[in-house]
């Protein structure tokens, strides 16, 4: 099992849209082989920060998700 923890700082004002796109990404991940679960965390003292925690059966499963077109689409949306 492998857990990935990603720290993100958002542009001011982008938080609601980013949160929605990330919720969609986490829902799509449920369809991926090897997905175990995930969480989206927000520190109360830094509302423009997020911590993404994703757990996969193997690193290969996680890497395959990063090559999936759905992941690439949401990555573009989150960066914009």
Write out pLDDT tens, residues 1-36.
999 999 999 988 999 999 998 898 899 899 999 999
pLDDT level of residue 80 (50, 70, 90 thresholds): low
* Helices 69-79, 15-29: crossing angle, 10 deg rounding: 170
Domain map (residue ranges) of the chain? 2-79
- Give this prediction's pTM: 0.83
Question: What's the CATH number for 2-79?
Answer: 3.30.70.100
What residues contact 44, with CB distance under 8 A and at least 6 apart? none
pLDDT level of residue 72 (50, 70, 90 thresholds): confident
């Amino acid at each position: 099992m492998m857990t990935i923890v990603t720290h993100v700082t958002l542009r001011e004002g982008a938080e609601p849209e980013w949160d929605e796109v990330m919720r969609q990404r986490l829902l799509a991940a449920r369809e991926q082989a090897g997905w175990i679960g995930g969480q989206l965390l927000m520190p109360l003292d830094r509302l423009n920060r997020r911590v993404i925690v994703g757990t996969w059966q193997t690193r290969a499963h996680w890497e395959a998700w990063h090559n999936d077109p759905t992941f690439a689409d949401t990555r573009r949306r989150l960066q914009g």
